[in-house]
Amino acid sequence: MGTVTIGVSIAVPEPHGSLLQERRAGFGDPAAHGIPTHVTLLPPTEVDEERLPEIEAHLAGLAALSDPFTMRLDGTGTFRPLSPVVFVKLVEGAEGCDVLQQRIRDAAGPVPRELQFPYHPHVTVAHGISEAAMDRAFEELADYGAEWTCSSFALYEQGADEVWRKLYDYEFGSGRTVTVPAVPAQGGSPVDEPTATH
Q: Residues 1-13, buried b or exposed e (16+ Cβ, 10 A)?
A: eeebebbbbbbbb
Q: What is the mean pLDDT of residues 83-90?
A: 97
This prediction's pTM = 0.87
Task: Indicate if the pLDDT at residue 187 is higher than 70.
Answer: no
Judge contact between 104 and 115, C-beta under 8 A: no
pLDDT digits (tens, 9 = 90+) for 44-54: 999 999 999 99
pLDDT, residue 186, reads 46
The confidence band for 131, taking pLDDT boundaries of 50, 70 and 90, is: very high
